[in-house]
């Protein structure tokens, strides 16, 4: 019964994101396809994942759907390989990200880069994004209405990229994707599913900067991801 409830919630979330996208595109009817128009509209058949992501960024434009637009320097969309087998999802941009327009470029971003490299990958081999695309004031936690406004964009990014694994970094990324209120400490270390994509929740790099003793727990999570992706790695976290 619980599985059916979760499936229903996912369907509602997809439909909500789809309708939001149609509204932004100025479309007043619902196409027959049940997938997002970014993938299956007649005009998008020949488009690459990179082009689809570029189109999505154009749709976002100078978004003013929530109050975060008032304090941001710029929207932080996402960066990396549009065909990546792994997507790292954080919660929201910080000061450095807001200034540079790229997710995870501050101290936490440097740590994430080291984690990616320890997997035997380069940063550009992965795709990196956040649930919320604009910096919350003073780096506070994103609020529920802000997540609700921005979430459809992340879901469409995942639809386009089709990764094998999503690594959800921190509480808000994990709770958003898994539709749960469970704490990250309870969720981490186990695989869950976002549709047919495996999701591994783990601690956010910013948390690790404050609690370096938990790096070993994240490395255990990362090793499970590496096993799924058949990566040998070259470090111990």
Per residue in 132-144, pLDDT (tens digit) is 999 999 999 999 9
- The 10s digit of each residue's pLDDT in 90-99 is 999 999 999 9
For residues 125 and 116, give the distance between their C-alpha atoms in angstroms, rounded to a whole number.
Answer: 9
Residue 113 has pLDDT above 70, yes or no: yes
Q: Is the pLDDT of residue 199 over 50?
A: yes
Q: Which residue in 164, 173, 181, 111 sits closest to 142, CA to CA? A: 173
Q: What is the pLDDT of residue 127?
A: 98
Q: What pLDDT was estimated at residue 43?
A: 52
Confidence label for 197 from pLDDT (cuts 50, 70 and 90): very high
Q: Does the structure show a pLDDT above 90 at 38? A: no
Residue 22 has pLDDT above 80, yes or no: no
Cβ neighbours of 191 (radius 10 Å): 13
Domains and CATH numbers, the chain: 65-229 (3.40.470.10)
**Residue 205, CB-side half-sphere exposure with 13 Å CA sphere:** 24
- Of 47, 49, 46, 43, residue with least CA distance to 31: 43
Q: What is the model's pLDDT at position 2?
A: 56
Which pLDDT belongs to residue 103? Answer: 97
* Amino acid 50: pLDDT: 96
Q: What is the pTM of this model?
A: 0.82
pLDDT at 195 (0 to 100): 85
Q: Is the pLDDT of residue 12 over 90?
A: no
The reported pLDDT for the residue numbered 51 is 96
Give me the mean pLDDT over the 226-233 stretch. Answer: 92
Selection from 234, 178, 167, 232 nearest residue 205 by Cα: 167
pLDDT of residue 62: 93
pLDDT digits (tens, 9 = 90+) for 67-90: 999 999 999 999 999 999 999 999
Position 204 pLDDT exceeds 80: yes
Strands (E), 83-209: 86-90, 127-130, 165-169, 192-194, 197-202
DSSP run (H or E) holding 79: strand 79-80
Query: What percent helix, strand, coil does the chain show, rounded to 5?
Result: 55, 10, 35
């Amino acid at each position: 019964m619980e599985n059916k409830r979760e499936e229903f919630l996912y369907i509602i979330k997809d439909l909500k994101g789809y309708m939001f996208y149609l509204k932004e595109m100025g479309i007043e009817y619902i196409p027959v396809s049940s997938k997002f128009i970014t993938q299956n509209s007649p005009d998008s058949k020949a488009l690459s994942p990179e082009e689809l992501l570029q189109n999505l960024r154009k749709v976002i434009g100078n978004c003013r759907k929530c109050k975060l637009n008032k304090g941001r320097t710029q929207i932080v969309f996402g960066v990396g390989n549009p065909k990546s087998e792994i997507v790292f999802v954080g919660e929201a941009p910080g000061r450095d990200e807001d200034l540079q327009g790229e997710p995870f470029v501050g101290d936490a971003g440097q740590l994430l880069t080291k984690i990616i490299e320890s997997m035997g990958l380069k940063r550009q081999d992965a795709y990196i994004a956040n649930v919320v695309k604009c910096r919350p004031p003073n780096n506070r936690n994103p609020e529920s209405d802000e997540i609700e406004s921005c979430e459809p964009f992340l879901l469409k990014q995942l639809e386009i990229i089709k990764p094998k694994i999503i690594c959800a970094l921190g509480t808000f990324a994990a709770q958003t994707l898994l539709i749960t209120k469970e704490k990250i400490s309870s969720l981490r270390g186990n695989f869950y599913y976002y549709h047919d994509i495996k999701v591994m929740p783990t601690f956010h790099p910013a948390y690790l900067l404050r609690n370096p003793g938990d790096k070993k727990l994240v490395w255990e999570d990362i090793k499970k991801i590496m096993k799924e992706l058949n990566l040998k790695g070259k470090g111990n976290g």
